[in-house]
Amino acid sequence: MFKHTLSKYSLAKWLIFVIATLLVVYCLPKDDENHYAYQVGRPWSYSLLTAPFDIPIHLDSVSARMVKDSIDRNFEPVFKRDVALEKAMVSNYATRIASARDLEITPSERNQLLNEIKRIYEDGIVDRVTYSEIVNHTMPTVRFIHDNVAISMPTDAFMSARSAYSRLDSVFPDQRFHQAIAATRLSEMLQPNVMLDSVESTRLRNEQYQKAMAPIGVIQQGERIIDRGDIVTEQLATILRTYEEISADRGTGTVSQRFYPVAGQILFILLAFGALYGFLFFFRPNYYHDTRSIMLMMLLIAVFSVVTFWVVTESQRGIFLIPYTIVPVMVLIFLDSRTALFTHIVMVLICAMVATFQLEFIFMQFVAGVMAINSIKELTKRSQLVRTALLVFISYTLSFVAVEVMQTGSLEKISTTVFTYLGLNAVLISFAYILIFIFEKLFGFTSRVTLVELSDINNPLLRELSEECPGTFQHSMSVSNLASAAAQRIGANVLLVRGGALYHDIGKIKNPAFYTENQHGVNPHDALDAKQSAKIVIGHVTEGLKLAEKAKLPAVLRHFITEHHGRGKAKYFYTTYCNAHPDEEVDESAFTYPGPNPHSRETSILMMADAVEAASRSLTDHSPEAISELVNRIIDTQIAEGLHNDSPLSFRDVKAIKDTFAQRLRTLYHSRISYPDMKKNDKTE
């Protein structure tokens, strides 16, 4: 049964390994071997690059933009005249004015009006956009193409429909003409007859672009392009882009050249994840054998890696927005600091595969991750995340400036936009509090924040314990203080021990009077058989477990309820029964707690603290020697009975726990001096 369970868990964690590897490799951007990541103004991070073929040298982007701007400023757009439209407009208006009645102008004046409209169309009517450019002097001339010959023409005679209407008003100031123009609705008929020929204009503009953008030189085959450490200028960036475009068009990559990068990526990911598994196997075996812990780490690494790959394909600067420090914070909260740092390093190495400047990326993320781990230690309140976010922002900023100054030798070239991204990154770290809650529900972990909340004595279950079993509550508080001090001494989880100690005896709520600390002179066990008494006392474990499940306490706290007595015996009733039945073979199972024995250092500490605190109440001699003898006897007896065989406690831990218990009890039971009575003389009396 045990081997079957072990193989099942082993299969699960290696299945997680394979799935995470395939997911990360699949989502990696598939760039060919001729693609390089670089940035203008930064050093070239690759080895010497020589031209495998002749590469034309084009103008750099800045110069090309200046040339294009100059062409655009001086370019004469091509227009065309719609002769059919103007003839139709004049003819239609002539018909309209001839058929109009009650006009006060004579036939001769009508001809004058028609002739002026013809002259307006001969000068040219353009659309409003073109007219506004003419008025603003941005289009002084245009071209007309006739028989494949371009003729340049000034635009000062062109009018818009509105300005043409105004011209008629000024040419014919007589009110009779105004009334005739309005009556014939001339404003509705005036339409542009000179229009932009966008197709021909675009063709001619592109021809000028191509002539201006012609190569200004050639890098011959075998000639040096750039070497490691050279600053990438605008001109070099243009040459590199040309090289990549020509390489892509030629399809120079062979099958092996396309296969090897992918094979290298797979090997890289396998080694990175393998290193994490190796660390867990040798230094954190409890996490290695825990599928939930493995899944937590691998899920965080895979998700942040995939997000990084997607963001980088959209924008290289976007990598500064991703809050990578959430990963070590999450692992620290649920596991421990060393595991958090190792997980963070593995994730950063994988994400660095797509970073433009890998040294800068790795250094910044390493410094920020270490700062996040050191600043948070034990998360007990939300404000700690705000402090961590601020410290991470400072770490990012300083490390970014350090690398930039080291590589460029100047502060002037630092991009201030990056600091905005880093600020948003720090803000996103605060969302870790939401992720903590989600991961607790998904994986069944218990965070330090939850432990702090559950350790509040105003918790309904603890309040009920204090009201129904005041003696047991005081005992639990004393055990909590004693166990927390020991946990602090040996480096165990203090918050977990404190919470477990407060809840370990909640089962006594069901029958408070049957426990010595809650009795007031009447002992109900006097009327019961030893077996019955043992059954009631042992029952506080199962009753406590029921209450814990009803209150939805985390599994890690329920372990303290079931393991604080382990498979030990209710010795008082067992001894009483044996003495009363000397000739009977006693069934020990009737006096044995259901267990199991402690499986962690924390539950072992609680078992020791529970027994020592209870026994110390019966001491009459509170000398240091008597206290030390009591502590040693109780803990040594538990070890001799094998109650701590399943616990990872070391002999050094046991010695430290004993010393801590003895020191605390000596402080608690220290002797006090007796105050003398005031002696009164006879006169005073």
Residue 281's pLDDT is 93
What's the pLDDT at 255? 45
Q: Please name the helix (run of DSSP H) or strand (run of DSSP E) that holds residue 194, with its range, or none.
A: strand 194-196
**Strands annotated E in 13-167:** 49-50, 55-57, 78-81, 141-146, 149-154
DSSP conformational letter for 17: H
> What pLDDT was estimated at residue 334?
87
Pick from 115, 92, 250: nearest CA to 177:
115
Task: Determine the pLDDT at residue 9.
Answer: 56
Distance CA 95, CA 90 (A): 9
Determine phi and psi for 241, rounding to 5 degrees: -65, -40
Taking residue 121's Cβ as centre, other Cβ atoms within 10 Å add up to 23
CA dist., res. 516 & res. 520, Å (int): 8
Do 501 and 605 meet the contact criterion of CB atoms below 8 Å apart? no
CB proximity list for 85: less than 8 A, separation 6 or greater: 191, 193
Domain positions in the chain: 2-28+257-443, 78-196, 448-668
Quick one: CA torsion of 290, 291, 292, 297, rounded to 10 degrees?
100
- Distance, CA of 494 to CA of 448 (rounded, Å): 10
Note the pTM of the prediction, 2 decimals. 0.65
Largest CA distance in the chain: 151
What does the mean pLDDT of the chain come to?
86
- Grade residue 256 by pLDDT with cuts at 50, 70 and 90: very low
Q: Is the peptide bond before 596 cis (omega within 30 degrees of 0)?
A: yes
Choose between 15 and 50: higher pLDDT: 15
For 50, list phi and psi in degrees, rounded to 5.
-115, 160
Does domain 448-668 bear CATH number 2.30.30?
A: no
Cα–Cα distance between 188 and 203 in angstroms, integer?
A: 34
Tell me which residue of 193, 210, 220 sits closest to 121, measured CA to CA. 193
pLDDT over 80 (residue 670): no
Residues 556-588 pLDDT 10s: 999 999 999 999 998 888 888 888 888 888 888
Q: What is the rounded CA–CA span in Å between residue 603 and residue 610?
A: 10
Task: For residue 224, give the H/E element and its range.
Answer: strand 224-226
Nearest to 367 by CA among 379, 359, 355: 359
Model confidence pLDDT, tens digit, residues 514-539? 888 888 778 888 788 888 888 999 99
172 neighbors 113 (Cβ within 8 angstroms): yes
Residue 658: band (very low, low, confident or very high) from pLDDT cuts 50, 70, 90: very high
